Every structure is written in structure tokens, then in C-alpha cells.
Structure 1
Amino acid sequence: MNDSTPASYFTGMYADAPDPWRLADRWYEHRKYTLTLASLPRRRYRRAFEPGCSVGVLTRMLAGRCEEVVAADRVATAVEEAAARTADLPHVRVRRMAVPEEWPEGSFDLVVLSELLYYFDDERLDRLLANTVRSLEPGGTLVTVHWDHEVPEHRLTGSQLTPVLEARAGLVPGPGFRDPDFVLGTFTRPFADGSLPPTPAEAEGLV
């Protein structure tokens, strides 16, 4: 498959079930989300962007580490579910948005691309990553997590996405985690002088 996955695929999935990937009740998903949060080098973030948020399970977990979370999905029913799940969190905003054609204003010190990038053709993937780098603040964190098995609707696996991400100008690869079923990566946008933020141990004066 060379084209982006059509929008009808996602609307069809949510038409059949409110949480078609069972993100809220699968141990696999809970473990993956816990590892995602554990990979973040900072204890707190100012402003995070999570496109492709689905029903907002990870969104709610990110809210505990962020002063503000902007979450988005292209499917209206997913947006409704995510908004309901985070309704008691005033610092979370859930919007209907189709990336990369649409993108929120402002900058972020955290961008989360979880189970998203393999749906895009080369041109749209390039635009999405360009938007990510442009909106990520110097010193900010990008975390990516992707299923590592072949799926008809996925153009790439997590392993196939890794070299694309590592070669992206404006991002410095950091620690990651390779699971038998998914690949997690962290990346940092360097400061203007090419330096990087301190590691968690450096930030607490341990080294």
C-alpha cells in the first residue's frame, strides 16, 4: 500500500465500536502507555500535543505530567469519547483535526506520535514530521510508539519507521525501547548551539 490510509477506514472502525482497538481495557495497551510515560526525560512538561488521540486513554495519562495537553483526532466520535474521558481535566483540550493538513497554533515542549505515522504516504509523513519539528521547542521531547507487525492498513512497521525518524533533520535520537510487538523512540530538538538538555540524572545533580 503506497497511499495514506483513507479516512473511511477510521470512521468505519468507530462505527463498529466506540473503542475499536480496546485501548481502555487491554493490558497490552496499559503496559505500552506506562512505558511511554516512563520514557519521558522530564517530570513535567509545559504543553503537549497528541495527534491521533483516539478515545483519550493516553491523553488522560499525559495530563498528569503536563500543564496543558492539546489532543486531536480526525474522527468525531473518537473526539467525543476523548473529551468525555478527560472532561474533569480543565487543562486538556480535545479537538477534531486531521493532521498534517491541520495543526494547532503555538509551540510544544512535548509531542506524542503514538500509533500514527504508519498511516501516511511519504509526502504526508514528511509534512507531519516537518510540522512536528517546527512546533517542537528547542530542548523539547518527541516520543514515538508504533506496532511492529505488518498490517494491511499500515504502510510501515515500527522497525521500518525507525530509520526515517532517526534521519530527520532537527531531531536527535535518544533512548528507546524495542518490544517484540512495538518500537518506542525518544527524540530531542537541540538548542541553537547544538546542545541538549541535561539528562534526568544531570538535572538532579547526580553526575
Structure 2
Amino acid sequence: MSTPVSYFEQMYAADPDPWSFESRWYDARKHTLTVAALTRRRYRSAFEPGCSTGMLTARLAERCDTLLAVDAVPAAARTAAERVAAHPHVTVGTAQLPHEWPEGTFDLVVLSELGYYFDDTDLRTLIERAAGALEPGGELVAVHWRWPVTEHARSGDDVHAALAEAPGLERLARHEEADFILEVFTAGPARSVAQREGLA
């Protein structure tokens, strides 16, 4: 069974920043690395499901012409919307994933600390919808915690193993630490930054 929304609602009711994203160096560094891993200078249209309080959203906003960020918990979405209020090209809303997926296509989808909350069926749907929403040459960035967590349906490693097996996705980059895995996949032939710029 996927983690129920009530679990997250209770966490945000007890603390508006339940994972301490605003104060921990670990998360600030991880968000910096996540944005640094993006292989394109700029993206036309990006989607960030499970945006939480918008700390990563604010960083992504600097690299995107338009950005849609959603969270299942209204309180989290409100905090994220306040954080990016100075960016009119960013839209923040609520959605319960993977079933309430937005229409349209994107050249960037970001799955940050999300996949391990889903059971097998919902994770498969999440990956299928994320991959299916990518434009040709679009990128899917995934980053997940690796240590065991009781509330997680699976490990971060399992999420990335499923992404690696997904049809239509090719890995562009992988960064692995004891704490998390960060990977970039593309919908189309994998060409490095140097290859795209004619250097290799």
C-alpha cells in the first residue's frame, strides 16, 4: 500500500517544516547538487511533483521558463507558493500522485524524495506517467534518500532500479553517496553535454 496522505497531513500539522528543509545543511547541499546535475542551461516547461515546502522549487525556478509544482498536502503547497511568490512563471497546486497527473508535456520532470512512498503499482504508474510526459530529449531527475525508513514502502535504491529499467529512459548521469542517489535520465538518445556542444 502507498503511504496515505493522512500521514503527511499529520506531519505538516505538527510542524510546518517536518523534514527541516529550511535549516539543514544536508538538504541545502543536496538541492544544490540536484540543480547542478541538470544538463541543460534552461528548460521550457518543468514539473515537480511532491514539492513539499518549495525549497527545491525555488532553485528550479531560476532554470525554467515555466514550472508547475504540486504537493498532496495543502499546507505544504501554501508554504511553497509563498516561497516562490516572486516568480510569476511558477504555479503551485495540490494533487495526489500518481493518479492526478497534469496534462501536457515537459522537458523536465523532477522526482525528489518521492518514489519510495508508493507501492509497486503506484510506483510503476508514477514512472510511466513521468516518462510519458517527457518531450523528446526531455530529462527526468530523481534523487532519493538511501537509509531505511519505516514509513517507506521501499528503499531509494529500489526506486532508482525501477527507473533504470523503465522503457524509453536512458541514464545521462549518476551521483551516489551513502545518503542518497541522484540520477538524470533522458527521453531519447543519451548525449552528454560535451557531445551536444560539439566537443566530443
Measured against the shorter chain, the TM-score band is over 0.9
TM-score by length of 1: 0.94
The residue type equivalent to 2:145 in the other structure is: W
**Residue among 87, 94, 97 paired with 2:85:** 87
CA RMSD across the alignment: 1.0
Q: Which runs of 5+ in 1 are unaligned?
A: none
Structure 1 counterpart of 2:157: 159
Structure 1 segments, 4+ long, off by >4 Å, are none
CA contact (8 A) 2:172 2:192 kept: no
The residue type equivalent to 2:121 in the other structure is: E
TM-score by length of 2: 0.97
For residues 77 and 160 of structure 2, the distance between their equivalents in structure 1, rounded to whole angstroms, comes to 28
Q: Deviations over 1:67-108 (max 9, x none)?
A: 111000000100100000001100000011111110111100
Structure 2 counterpart of 1:147: 145
% of aligned pairs identical? 51
Q: Deviations over 1:33-72 (max 9, x none)?
A: 1110111110111011000000000000000111111000
- Shift in Å, 1:205: 3.0
**Residue among 94, 115, 122 paired with 1:96:** 94
Structure 1 counterpart of 2:51: 53
For residues 155 and 4 of structure 1, the distance between their equivalents in structure 2, rounded to whole angstroms, comes to 7
For residues 7 and 113 of structure 1, the distance between their equivalents in structure 2, rounded to whole angstroms, comes to 17
Answer yes or no: is 1:203 the counterpart of 2:196.
Answer: yes
For residues 174 and 89 of structure 1, the distance between their equivalents in structure 2, rounded to whole angstroms, comes to 29
SS in 2 for 1:100: coil
Equivalences for residues 14-93 of structure 1 within 5 A: 14-93=12-91
SS in 2 for 1:42: coil
Q: Which runs of 5+ in 2 are unaligned?
A: none
- Shift in Å, 1:174: 2.1
SS in 2 for 1:139: strand
**Equivalent residue pairs, number:** 200
